[in-house]
A and B are shown apart, each in its own frame.
Chain A
Amino acid sequence: MAPIEAKPLGLRGALLLPLCALAIAIALPFVLRAFGLDFYLSLASRIVVYAIAATSLNLVLGYAGLVSFGHAAFFGLGAYVTAIMISEGVQSGPLHLAATIAVTALAALVIGAISLRTRGVYFIMITLAFAQMLFYLANSVKGYGGDEGLNIRARSLFSLGPYLLDLKNPLALYYVALAVLVIALVALARFAPSRFGRAVLALRDDDVRAEALGFPTYRYKLVVFVVAGALGGIAGALSVNLQGYVSPNALHWTQSGTLMVMVILGGVATVSGGLAGAAVLLLLQEVLATTTEHHEFWTGWVLLAVVLFARQGIVGLWTRRRAPSLS
């Protein structure tokens, strides 16, 4: 057998960095406390929550090559579902999770089934239009805060046997969000070189060819769209638990734009791109916000630099360029 596909995978090398990052993430709350920087835990949680949202968008945008400009629809919808349930007195975390997944997956199924019949600019516009429809809907529903948004007093509650996990506790929220992110990243890392993942990457390259070979491309795109929508919804549900508040802005197109910036900044179609992008963008905003009034101006320059000089995003800077392969 010729040593052709023997691509040096270096499992130990490949796992070293993620495991270190995970260890740091787990230790982070204690480190912050030791230095009296507890305040930053909420920033860390925000990074994790946005990392989940950006990762879900990366699945659609990066892996399936579908430029969805309405991903905030699912993020905001998930936030609203959970916030409304809590404001109606339902505190059960598992119920919040189930309802969030059900509603956002269904919304993604409907939006995807229609939008995926178009391509290119039309796809961008139609996904944007759907998200804006939800934005205006949230603005008009006065019973749930309308344009002022919805404040919640309680949070999602998970009972684990004798223990009660209340997401009101910042530490609990951080670890639950971290667990969701880890599951999402592991699943994404497994997905990319799997049969389904390769089929999706193939249709990103050329969906006419993929279809002609026998892949039901429309169905595959829809599956990806729905999974990403549900994951974006979960991120939204976590975000409302973090902030105790949701407003129509969570559904606004600028929110979709922020998620896109995170994906492009971090690395399109890379497992950790969403995480890297969320971390860098939110940290950048945090640092710049304390030093200058024009933080968006400087953030823009960083984005420009990344797009011009690091085509594969931040993640691409430290992964050496490999031979082209779908896996």
Chain B
Amino acid sequence: MTGTATAAPLLDVRGLEKRFGGLVATDRVDLRVDGGEIHALIGPNGAGKTTLVAQLGGQLASDRGTIVFAGDDITAWPTHRRARHGLARSFQTTRLFRSASVIDNLALAVQAVTGSNLDAWRPARRDRALFERARELLDTLGLGAKAAHAIDQLSHGERRALEVGMTFASRPRLLLLDEPMAGMGRDESARMEALIGVVRTQCAVLLIEHDVDAVFRLADRVSVLVGGRVVASGTPGAVRSDPAVIAAYLGDDAGAA
């Protein structure tokens, strides 16, 4: 914003820690995500990816370290304030509003970050801006024909797409996508990949993903998390050939959890 050539990173995480009793789930993690990039976070099961995402999203408080987002130290901010500041996240297990239709889910996501929500008298349906944005998202997600459908009428892939769409509704500056392709078939994965391609034109993405092939296709930079620590960070090519990564990542089954 100030016009300096070397812009500050959008997300700057330093020395982040999280312990559960004796277990160190997040161990002095440093991570930076720049505006406009897709930064992928990979790592074997139990590496602490989901814990880290929860710390960034605000669902879990950090024991130590700082999270600076868009120039503000948000380490102690509650989740809803982070979201309103442009830091949105999706969930690994789909979390949608079951008693709402598809379009209402999206309208709620838009509503959460726009204007005051304390109006308890006028019907929200009169609020054109809410539903225009929701409809626009619906088309982006390819769910245009299913606006009035119930959540349980959607396929798994459609639900995952909606899950991502919900997070995207707020026009965030950074999107944390927690394993968006989990449990998907090849076709659905391809569609999700295309969706992430659309999303990236509008905001930065921190992509947590198991599907390593997709990660190397999509990501500008990759960080590898093992045992709560970032063991490597760089371009996909550099990370792929990093011997430490190969050892740690592939040695997961034999190595320590």
Which chain A residues have a beta carbon within 8 Å of chain B's beta carbons? 2, 4-5, 7, 187, 190-191, 193-199, 201-202, 205-206, 208-217, 220, 223, 323-327
Q: What are 18 A-to-B residue pairs whose CB atoms are below 8 Å?
A: A195-B122, A196-B119, A199-B108, A202-B108, A209-B96, A210-B108, A213-B88, A213-B108, A213-B167, A214-B83, A214-B113, A214-B170, A216-B80, A220-B117, A323-B101, A326-B104, A326-B108, A327-B124
Contacts A212-B57, A327-B125 given; does A194 touch B120 at CB 8 Å: yes
Contact A324 B150 (CB under 8 A): yes
A187-B121 Cα distance, complex, nearest whole Å: 7
Q: In this complex, which of B84, B148, B150, B170 has the most chain A Cβ atoms within 10 angstroms of its Cβ?
A: B148
Q: How far is the CB of A118 from chain B (nearest CB, A)?
A: 17
Contact A194 B119 (CB under 8 A): yes
Contact B123 A194 (CB under 8 A): yes
Q: How far is the CB of B155 from chain A (nearest CB, A)?
A: 17
Contact A323 B123 (CB under 8 A): no
Contact A213 B113 (CB under 8 A): yes
Closest to A220 in B: B117
Contact B127 A213 (CB under 8 A): no
Contact A216 B125 (CB under 8 A): no
A324 touches which one: B99, B111, B118, B144 (CB < 8 A)?
B99
Complex contacts, A210 vs chain B, CB 8 Å: 97, 108, 112
Complex contacts, A323 vs chain B, CB 8 Å: 101, 148, 150
Contact A213 B170 (CB under 8 A): yes
Contacts A5-B125, A196-B118 given; does A212 touch B97 at CB 8 Å: no
Complex contacts, A196 vs chain B, CB 8 Å: 117-120
A5-B130 Cα distance, complex, nearest whole Å: 13
Complex contacts, B120 vs chain A, CB 8 Å: 187, 190-191, 194-197
Contacts A216-B80, A217-B80, A323-B148 given; does A205 touch B112 at CB 8 Å: no
Q: How far is the CB of B158 from chain A (nearest CB, A)?
A: 16
Q: How far is the CB of A67 from chain B (nearest CB, A)?
A: 17
Contact A2 B147 (CB under 8 A): yes
Closest to B170 in A: A214
Interface residues of B in 100-119 (CB under 8 A from A): 100-101, 103-104, 108-109, 111-113, 115-119
Which chain B residues have a beta carbon within 8 Å of chain A's beta carbons? 57, 59, 78-81, 83-84, 88-89, 91, 95-101, 103-104, 108-109, 111-113, 115-125, 127, 131, 144, 147-148, 150-151, 166-167, 169-170
Contact B101 A324 (CB under 8 A): yes
A32-B224 Cα distance, complex, nearest whole Å: 78
A196-B117 Cα distance, complex, nearest whole Å: 5
Q: A205-B96, A208-B95, A211-B79 are in contact. List 6 more A-B contacts (CB 8 A).
A: A5-B103, A7-B148, A187-B120, A190-B122, A209-B95, A325-B99
Closest to A217 in B: B80
Complex contacts, B83 vs chain A, CB 8 Å: 211-214
Q: In this complex, which of B103, B116, B123, B150 has the most chain A Cβ atoms within 10 angstroms of its Cβ?
A: B123
Closest to A227 in B: B120
Q: How far is the CB of B117 from chain A (nearest CB, A)?
A: 5
Contact A213 B124 (CB under 8 A): no
Complex contacts, B118 vs chain A, CB 8 Å: 195-196, 223
Complex contacts, B113 vs chain A, CB 8 Å: 213-214
Contact A205 B80 (CB under 8 A): no
Q: How far is the CB of A216 from chain B (nearest CB, A)?
A: 5
Complex contacts, B116 vs chain A, CB 8 Å: 195
Contact A195 B124 (CB under 8 A): yes
Contact B170 A190 (CB under 8 A): no
Closest to A201 in B: B99
Q: How far is the CB of B105 from chain A (nearest CB, A)?
A: 9
Q: In this complex, which of B89, B112, B120, B148 has the most chain A Cβ atoms within 10 angstroms of its Cβ?
A: B120
Q: In this complex, which of B88, B124, B151 has the most chain A Cβ atoms within 10 angstroms of its Cβ?
A: B124
B91 touches which one: A191, A205, A209, A216 (CB < 8 A)?
A209
Closest to B147 in A: A4
Contact A199 B117 (CB under 8 A): yes
Complex contacts, A193 vs chain B, CB 8 Å: 123-125
Q: How far is the CB of A177 from chain B (nearest CB, A)?
A: 23
Contact A325 B91 (CB under 8 A): no
A216-B119 Cα distance, complex, nearest whole Å: 15
Contacts A194-B124, A213-B109 given; does A325 touch B101 at CB 8 Å: yes
Contacts A195-B127, A198-B124, A209-B97 given; does A214 touch B112 at CB 8 Å: yes
State the 10 A-B residue pairs at the shortest beta-carbon distance, nearest first.
Answer: A214-B83, A213-B112, A214-B112, A209-B95, A4-B147, A196-B120, A205-B97, A214-B113, A324-B150, A216-B80
